[in-house]
Amino acid sequence: MTLVRLDNVYKSFQRAGGPVVNAVNGVSFEISPGETVALIGESGSGKSTIARLALRLYELDAGTVYFDGRDLTTLSRDELRHLRADMTIVFQEPYESLNPRQRIGRTVEEPLVIHEQKLTAAERHGRVVDALNHVALGENFYERYPHEISGGQQQRVGIARALVTRPKFIVLDEPTSSLDLSVRAQILQLLADLQDEFNLAYLFISHDIHTVEYVSDRICVMYLGQIVEVGPTAEVFANPQHPYTQALLSSSLSADPRVKKERFLLGGEIPSATNLPPGCFLHGRCPSGDDACAAAHVPLHAYTATHAVACIKVPWHADAEPAS
Amino acid sequence: MANDVTQPLLEVKDLHTRFHTHRGIVQAVNGISFGIREGELVGLVGETGCGKSVTARSVLGLVRPPGRIAEGRITYDGIDLRSLSRREFRKLRGTGISFVPQNPWGALNPILRIERQFRNVIRAHTDASRQECWDMSLAMLQKVGIQGPERILKGYAHQLSGGMAQRVVMAIALVLNPRLVIADEPTTGLDVTIQRQILDMVMQLLEEERRAMLLVTHDLGVVAQYCHRVIVMYAGKIVEEGPVSEVFVEPAHPYTQALLAAIPRPGHKLVSLRGRVPSLIDYPAGCPFHDRCDFAFEPCSAEEPLLCELSTGRRSACHLSKGVSELDAR
Ligand SMILES: Nc1ncnc2c1ncn2[C@@H]1O[C@H](COP(=O)(O)OP(=O)(O)OP(=O)(O)O)[C@@H](O)[C@H]1O
Ligand SMILES: Nc1ncnc2c1ncn2[C@@H]1O[C@H](COP(=O)(O)OP(=O)(O)OP(=O)(O)O)[C@@H](O)[C@H]1O
Ligand SMILES: [Mg+2]
Ligand SMILES: [Mg+2]
């Protein structure tokens, strides 16, 4: 059963007078209840755009997003507003997503006021305290202001706000990137506990390989607005097939000096999303890129029953041989 | 690797740097001592606000009011850096100590061609001709992995991507082959694959030329893989120091242990630190880490542990580490 499904989604941006930025170029994946799917990729690869498309916080240029069997792109504003209680988001910068002049309790309460108008004030208060307790902040944080608490506590407030409507699905857009290592561990533990308790589905966005390997069940590797590899996290980490995934994994540096870093194979610069190269987007940087790679775009194809790769050098899975 | 009998190239002794704010005096760097030898690549790590950048800026003579170096000696190659004027400091840049800041855009001049920015640095120290400057700049850009360096030299900063700009800043810092490079988070914020490409090239270059580096970072992996030695700071103090091969394999200080245990690894339970970093204004008595430490016992809240030598080049400031000799902080 799937809870969330993106089907061939596209999104581009154009700033006044500027070139068109092709942020998301045909992305599909799905997430089941209780599952954590990670999106990993470099800056500008389209991760945050996908986060917003998955909740239809942005309009899609093309493609469809389904939530709980419903096509979000066809829903009215009102219908969407009801669904917003079930699907929420935690943003990267904890401080920026909080209103500095608003007390913590009010910040956490806000989604209830907007999306669950049937609740009484007393019921809302109970829900807020409950959410604050769940993120281990407690009721005495209710009256505080954002600047009076630490970065890790601010991030907990963001999570409490995402949790207060009792959603089924939370998008976590780099929830720990701005936090120090020691605080990061607390938040990851908290997210894991909440997932177990409420059977939450997570879309977990990160560019930190260690974090993604630790938290996710499945992983989508993105490069320039496309998924180049997807599969169970353990399988992809053990046996990465796309040259970009291989490079990304080998660029992660172990803090154990006895584990020697692998040789790094990519060269050159990342192409601009305003001027995408023809063929495979990686071919200019790829050690095994050749004329065939430059000529034709390669779709994601099955490599094993659960693992798919967008590279023509990677063999097709026996059951998924292309028709031609 | 550096030879133990030589004098350090850079020696910092009992450095105190404070900021006088309306809330009180911030003890940003609180009595630290360390040395860097010729050819040594040293990582400086610790959580946000622990004093890494202030340490780097103190050495470089870049602390500005309300900040002030209150105490301490900083010696580079026998020169007392605290006695230098700004002009004399500038003379030292380029060939002596050069600086790579985190934000490359602040270090590049938006209205001068890149070529000219190289030439300004080279001409401050040599009487190289225009052609010689061009050749040196070109060679250096190639060494940091820039393709088509002619085009870059003729262009301006705004035409560069973040990764390219950071390489250009590094190339300018390295073009006169300085004996010591101080880099403050030089690859933070860059894409990981680009970060890896830059670090591979720059660190290899420094190693080949036997140049020294103080690399400020919060990325333990970068230090583990590229540096010889590591200094761990906590709340304005050095809590542990030693060869990377020892500190990261068998950390002596509970804080270093906690930092390493907080790196997510599949199949391991994540260990997180409780509590918060102490205030640098009302500095606590005893060990600055004691109220977050699982091993704290009576003396920890009362008496501050001194940085003790555990073995040659290996120091830790913890009442539980048994030192061979107590190093006086002064
Ligand atoms: N609102 C917008 N207007 C114009 N361009 C945008 C907008 N949002 C994103 N972009 C562009 O779309 C591309 C993808 O951006 P996105 O923020 O999704 O990347 P990301 O993978 O989240 O990056 P990061 O890791 O830096 O957060 C980038 O080139 C970005 O500049
Ligand atoms: N101009 C200033 N005025 C007041 N306090 C300052 C100033 N600059 C730095 N500090 C304080 O000095 C302490 C050390 O800051 P520093 O910038 O060295 O930290 P850091 O270790 O480099 O942290 P990060 O990893 O976030 O860069 C911090 O508590 C900071 O708030
Ligand atoms: Mg983003
Ligand atoms: Mg800093």
pLDDT of residue B170: 92
pLDDT of residue A324: 43
Inter-chain residue contact B47 with A254, CB threshold 8 Å: no
Q: Does residue B265 sit within a domain?
A: yes
Which residues of chain A have a pLDDT value below 50? 323-324
- pTM of the entire structure? 0.87
Check residues B223 and A181 and name the one with the higher pLDDT: B223
Which atom from ligand 1 is nearest to the alpha carbon of A45? 21
- Greatest extent of chain A over all pairs of C-alpha atoms, in Å: 67
Residues A275, A258 contacting (CB under 8 angstroms): no
The minimum CA-CA distance between B123 and chain A, rounded to whole Å, is 31
Residues A220, A40 contacting (CB under 8 angstroms): yes
Mean pLDDT of chain B: 90
Backbone angles phi, psi at A125, to 5 degrees: -60, -45
Whole-angstrom Cα distance, residue B122 to residue B133? 7
Q: Over the stretch B18-76, which tens digit does the pLDDT of each residue have?
A: 999 888 899 999 999 999 999 999 999 998 889 999 999 999 999 999 999 999 999 99
Question: Torsion over CA of B250, B256, B261 and B264, rounded to 10 degrees?
Answer: -120
Strand ranges, E, within A182-307: 201-206, 218-223, 226-232, 301-302
DSSP letter string, B241-254: EEEHHHHTTS--SH
Report whether pLDDT(B130) > 60: yes
Which atom from ligand 2 is nearest to the alpha carbon of B57? 18
Q: Does residue B290 sit within a domain?
A: yes
Q: At B137, list the tokens.
A: 């700049």
Question: Torsion over CA of B311, B317, B320 and B322, rounded to 10 degrees?
Answer: 30
**Ion ligand 4 nearby residues (CB, 5 A):** B 53
B68 lines ligand 2 (CB under 6 A): no
Q: How many residues does chain B have?
A: 330
pLDDT of residue A322: 52
A73 interfaces chain B, CB cutoff of 8 Å: no
B52 lines ligand 2 (CB under 6 A): yes
Q: Does residue B264 sit within a domain?
A: yes
Domain A4-239 is classified in which CATH homologous superfamily? P-loop containing nucleotide triphosphate hydrolases (3.40.50.300)
Check residues A177 and B286 and name the one with the higher pLDDT: B286
The minimum CA-CA distance between B49 and chain A, rounded to whole Å, is 10
- Kindly report the protein residue whose alpha carbon is nearest to atom 5 of ligand 2: B19
Starting at the edge strand found earlier in the chain, the sheet holding A62-67 runs A20-31, A4-14, A62-67, A70-71
Q: Over the stretch B311-330, which tens digit does the pLDDT of each residue have?
A: 988 999 999 886 544 444 33
At B188, the pLDDT band (50, 70, 90 cuts) reads confident
Inter-chain residue contact B222 with A253, CB threshold 8 Å: yes
The minimum CA-CA distance between A143 and chain B, rounded to whole Å, is 20
For chain B, how many structural domains are there in total?
A: 1
Strands B237-243, B314-316: pairing is antiparallel
A window 266-295, beta carbon within 8 A of B? 266-270
pLDDT of residue B322: 63
CA angle centred on A297, ends A300 and A322, rounded to 5°: 50
Of the listed ranges B89-103, B117-131, B242-256, B261-275, the least confidently predicted one is B261-275
CA-wise closest residue to B41 among B176, B179, B173 = B179
Which of A9, A11, A12, A13 to mutate for ligand 1's pocket (most ligand atoms within 8 Å of CB)?
Answer: A13
Q: Does residue B175 sit within a domain?
A: no
Q: Which ligand is nearest to the CA of B47?
A: 2
Inter-chain residue contact B218 with A180, CB threshold 8 Å: yes
pLDDT of residue B180: 97
Domain that holds residue B280: 250-330
Q: What is the ipTM of this complex?
A: 0.84
Which atom from ligand 2 is nearest to the alpha carbon of B236? 14
Q: Which residues touch A223 (CB under 8 Å, ≥6 apart)?
A: A41, A42, A45, A244, A281, A282
State which residue of chain A sits closest to B49, comparing Cα positions.
A180
Inter-chain residue contact B260 with A255, CB threshold 8 Å: yes
State which residue of chain B sits closest to A216, comparing Cα positions.
B266
Inter-chain residue contact A207 with B197, CB threshold 8 Å: no
Q: Over the stretch B287-304, which tens digit does the pLDDT of each residue have?
A: 999 999 999 999 999 999
